[in-house]
Chain A
């Protein structure tokens, strides 16, 4: 379960001065649901998700992730969250197995449990052929699988995806989309940010349209279509952000 309440993130930028990247964002997402944050570049999606993953601390507001407050118990939140984005790269000089082992150990898994988890995940994701190959020698699709394995190794109850298919080819993107769907089907709470309309239509149970750090509209896809009287999601999005 994720509950974000009036999240605000301000920081100082050399060129722009004081910047409010997230401005009073509130939403919630239940287990077995996918919540999609839809927004253009610089809308505040990444900052919001980074706050939920406790990589950044909120300036104001609160968020409870998997039952723990992001500001008070960041470590407990992180141990229950799997965070995947295009910015979460792999250690190129480690092998696929070492990469996943490293994160498993940091999550406190004991060695027998870790070995069992790795065997399960590597088999499920068909990674055994390249388990001992260095990450910098892997193809983009293989790297994506290693990243997925890294986020799954501790079996988190909450999954956060920040523009997970950005820059990927069709096949690699399909792997990710199927994986996100699988997470929901397994009862995990899933939040994802994207600006790809088709991804939102395919995956999201609830949508939040974010622009200039503010959550401008929220609801299921059919709710939003009914409220704005526009069927095409792209047109609907433009209508919301440029009224």
Chain B
């Protein structure tokens, strides 16, 4: 193989692609903008919205309770709740978000409390609605405290110790290192983004360099030059691979920077309370290992997209082939994030899913070298097969001159 000719084709494709606004956007602008927007932007937005929701004083209704004046009075005096007059259609009001929750106090509630008889307090809310949840949570807190106070009063009256109500406490303690905890929670996202961006980065140049050439009529121009079709496909493939890798590298760099910035912003907003998800710390070794394992996958994506796009007569047709492929390839990447999906020797042979799963393990600091080798080899085999198909298709007249 003449490396000189491959190099000439690659250099030309690189110059050509870097002058194409759409390629530059997909290769450079998207990863540099999308990642900070996803991490910092979405983080700030969700924290702001959460803060606003928490600051809101929820309006609630009291149903019944006419014979429990002290309890209803205490509820009305609460500063973080606003009790509004009762209406019969309280359920509709909650559903329509006009009030956040309602509490039903049973008949003779205070009398039963004093007598030590059991009773049930119902709290009505909109399941899954954030602000309704806050309203219900405040009502629950009030009644939990009332219950604890009542128990203590009963124990005191009988001269019994408080500890009788809670003879022991339960404390959960994490023993896993913070990076493993963070990795287990968020670790799947990093390889997911790397894999997704390897694919999206390769997509546009693959279509432009094949179907785009057919559409613009330059395919015949290049075919009448002495460069062999194998050299041509290798030059084009290297350009698509470059775009794929550059997109992924920029995305990871942008993600690392914006995650670091976003983490301190979120920690400040939370008053320093460290959520385990925020304790994720990805080492340089992990990043390098992920790129090493993702490399054959990038080769596979680049060659597969090149072959598929070459089949299309036009850019538009190539898009219609590639869009469903994107869904097919993203499914295994997403599957690795699902709880309970663990790396096994059989799954190590499933393309995309294997890389995603092993990357997730690498993020948490676990290196199963046997599996890593198996995955690298199987991914390389798939990549080689895709590249061989792309080369083969470039030799076929019915594909090159499909009309």
Is the Cβ of B16 less than 8 Å from the Cβ of A88? no
Is the Cβ of A55 less than 8 Å from the Cβ of B220? yes
How many chain B residues touch A (CB < 8 A): the figure is 22
Within 8 A of B (CB), among A93-117: 93-94, 98, 102-103, 105-108
Min Cβ gap B15→A in Å is 7
Within 8 A of A (CB), among B189-240: 216-218, 220-221, 223-228
Question: Once the chains are docked, how many angstroms separate the CA of A87 from the CA of B218?
Answer: 8
How many chain A residues touch B (CB < 8 A): the figure is 31
Is the Cβ of A83 less than 8 Å from the Cβ of B226? no
A-B contact pairs, 28 of them (CB 8 A): A11-B397, A11-B398, A12-B398, A54-B224, A55-B223, A56-B397, A56-B401, A79-B226, A87-B217, A87-B220, A88-B217, A88-B218, A89-B217, A89-B221, A91-B16, A91-B221, A93-B16, A93-B19, A93-B20, A94-B16, A98-B15, A105-B8, A106-B5, A106-B225, A106-B227, A107-B226, A134-B19, A150-B221
CB < 8 Å A-B pair total: 64
- Residue B149 is within 8 A (CB to CB) of chain A in the complex: no
- Residue B12 is within 8 A (CB to CB) of chain A in the complex: yes
Give chain B's interface residues, CB within 8 Å of chain A.
5, 8-9, 12, 15-16, 19-20, 216-218, 220-221, 223-228, 397-398, 401
Q: Which residues of A contact B16 (CB under 8 A)?
A: 91, 93-94
Question: Once the chains are docked, how many angstroms separate the CA of A134 from the CA of B19?
Answer: 10
Min Cβ gap A85→B in Å is 7
Q: Which residues of B contact A87 (CB under 8 A)?
A: 217, 220
- 4 closest pairs, A vs B, by CB? A89-B217, A83-B224, A88-B221, A79-B226
Is the Cβ of B224 less than 8 Å from the Cβ of A53? yes
Q: Which residues of A contact B397 (CB under 8 A)?
A: 11, 56-57
Is the Cβ of B220 less than 8 Å from the Cβ of A85? yes
Is the Cβ of A88 less than 8 Å from the Cβ of B226? no
A78-B224 contact, Cβ under 8 Å, with A89-B217, A102-B8, A106-B5 = yes
Question: Once the chains are docked, how many angstroms separate the CA of A111 from the CA of B397?
Answer: 33
A81-B19 contact, Cβ under 8 Å, with A56-B397, A90-B218 = no
Question: Once the chains are docked, how many angstroms separate the CA of A53 from the CA of B223?
Answer: 9
- Residue A75 is within 8 A (CB to CB) of chain B in the complex: yes
CB-CB nearest in chain B for A136: B216
Is the Cβ of A94 less than 8 Å from the Cβ of B12? yes
Give chain A's interface residues, CB within 8 Å of chain B.
11-12, 53-57, 75-76, 78-79, 81, 83, 85, 87-94, 98, 102-103, 105-108, 134, 150
Contact of A90 among B5, B8, B19, B221 (CB under 8 A): B221
Contact of B218 among A54, A57, A91 (CB under 8 A): A91
CB-CB nearest in chain A for B208: A93
Question: Once the chains are docked, how many angstroms separate the CA of A57 from the CA of B221?
Answer: 16
Contact of A81 among B9, B224, B227, B228 (CB under 8 A): B224
CB-CB nearest in chain B for A135: B218
A88-B224 contact, Cβ under 8 Å, with A93-B20, A94-B12, A94-B16 = yes
CB-CB nearest in chain B for A85: B220
Is the Cβ of A89 less than 8 Å from the Cβ of B218? yes
Q: Which residues of A contact B224 (CB under 8 A)?
A: 53-55, 78, 81, 83, 88
Q: Which residues of A contact B217 (CB under 8 A)?
A: 87-89
Min Cβ gap B218→A in Å is 5
Question: Once the chains are docked, how many angstroms separate the CA of A105 from the CA of B5?
Answer: 8
Q: Which residues of B contact A93 (CB under 8 A)?
A: 15-16, 19-20
Min Cβ gap A135→B in Å is 10
Q: Which residues of B contact A108 (CB under 8 A)?
A: 226
Question: Once the chains are docked, how many angstroms separate the CA of A89 from the CA of B215?
Answer: 10
CB-CB nearest in chain A for B8: A105
Is the Cβ of A88 less than 8 Å from the Cβ of B5? no
CB-CB nearest in chain B for A56: B397
Contact of B15 among A11, A78, A85, A94 (CB under 8 A): A94
A102-B398 contact, Cβ under 8 Å, with A75-B228, A78-B226 = no
Q: Which residues of A contact B20 (CB under 8 A)?
A: 93
A107-B223 contact, Cβ under 8 Å, with A11-B397, A56-B397, A91-B16 = no
CB-CB nearest in chain A for B397: A56
Q: Which residues of B contact A55 (CB under 8 A)?
A: 220, 223-224
Question: Once the chains are docked, how many angstroms separate the CA of A106 from the CA of B221?
Answer: 12
Min Cβ gap A224→B in Å is 30
A78-B225 contact, Cβ under 8 Å, with A88-B220, A90-B218, A106-B5 = yes
Q: Which residues of B contact A88 (CB under 8 A)?
A: 217-218, 220-221, 224
CB-CB nearest in chain A for B18: A93
A107-B225 contact, Cβ under 8 Å, with A91-B16, A93-B16, A94-B16 = yes
CB-CB nearest in chain A for B16: A93
Question: Once the chains are docked, how many angstroms separate the CA of A94 from the CA of B12?
Answer: 9
Question: Once the chains are docked, how many angstroms separate the CA of A76 from the CA of B20?
Answer: 33
Q: Which residues of B contact A134 (CB under 8 A)?
A: 19
Min Cβ gap A234→B in Å is 29
Min Cβ gap B240→A in Å is 16
Q: Which residues of A contact B216 (CB under 8 A)?
A: 89, 92
Min Cβ gap B172→A in Å is 60
Min Cβ gap B398→A in Å is 7
Question: Once the chains are docked, how many angstroms separate the CA of A83 from the CA of B218?
Answer: 13
Q: Which residues of B contact A76 (CB under 8 A)?
A: 226
B20, B223, B224, B398 — most chain A CB neighbours (10 Å): B224
